[in-house]
Amino acid sequence: MSFASKGMAATAQDEAYRAILQDIRSGRYQPGERLIPETIARELAMSRMPVREAFQRLANEGLVLIRPNRGCVVSGLTIDEIYELFEIRSVLEGLAVRLAMPRFDAAALAELDDHVARMHRAGAAGGADWLTKHQEFHAYICGLSRRPKLIAQIAALHIAVEPSMRVWLHHVAQPAHATERQDEVVEAIRTGDAEHAEAVMRDHVLRTAPRLAEFLRKRGQAAGVPSTLPASTQI
């Protein structure tokens, strides 16, 4: 289930949130595109209000930008922002794998191998869901850390770069190429050395950034609408 939400929407607002999130992740709503509450509300057969509240949540997660009196646009990422997200993800996933190390017994390692195998299959099949399998691989490792907030933060980071990753994978990259790197991570975990595993994971995460960035630069994209921070937490 990777980084998707589970359960059913209890409320209209939640339903709106999920629907919009899905459409941003999948790329249906492109960066820079303006989201009009009324339109989406009609689509989902509800009123504007729950849609607006969904916007709030999305804005807090940085997926959308709300400017007062000027509406809501899907916030693309600049190259710098993508780098930054990968930097953050590298240390967080490094932490996660370090904390997860004590829980990697034989069963966990076997399951980890399964994940890698699934990734390989999805990659070889040229399947578009390699990305999903890749996220599941990372999610499995992070999950073993048993740190709910850490897991949530990492998940949010995966989601933030997902749209960019999708166009990248769709247009050029052969996932198979990326897959071989995963083995390094698995190997490091197998050594049992937590510090080492952390370092390798950091490295592994960071390695993707420049390749994605280069692709986006060539496409001239990713200069869309710079996302902004939640207005709250500024220094």
Report which DSSP code applies to 28. S
d(CA 45, CA 28): 19
Q: Provide the binding-site residues for a second copy, judged by CB under 8 A.
A: 1-3, 5-7, 10-11, 14, 17-18, 21, 49, 52-53, 56-57, 60-62, 68, 81, 84-85, 87-88, 91-92, 94-95, 99, 139, 142-143, 147-153, 155-156, 159, 228-235
Size of site (CB under 7 A) for DNA? 21
Shortest Cβ distance from residue 70 to DNA (Å)? 5
**Residue 13 makes contact with DNA by CB under 7 A:** yes
| E strand segments, the chain | 34-35, 64-67, 71-74
CB closer to DNA out of 11 and 22: 11
**Residue 71 makes contact with DNA by CB under 7 A:** yes
Question: Pattern 169-208, binding to DNA, x per CB under 7 A?
Answer: ----------------------------------------
Stretch that binds DNA, among 24-32, 61-69, 106-114, 124-132 (CB under 7 A): 61-69
CA angle 197, 201, 202 (to 5 degrees): 120
Shortest Cβ distance from residue 229 to a second copy (Å)? 4
Q: Which does 40 bind (CB under 5 to 8 A by kind): DNA, a second copy, none?
A: none
Rounded to 10°, the helix 175-191/106-124 angle is: 170
d(CA 171, CA 160): 19
CB closer to DNA out of 34 and 217: 34
**Residue 65 makes contact with DNA by CB under 7 A:** no
d(CA 82, CA 61): 15
Q: Of 223, 125, 215, give the one whose Cα is nearest residue 173.
A: 215
Phi and psi torsions of 224, nearest 5°:
-60, -120
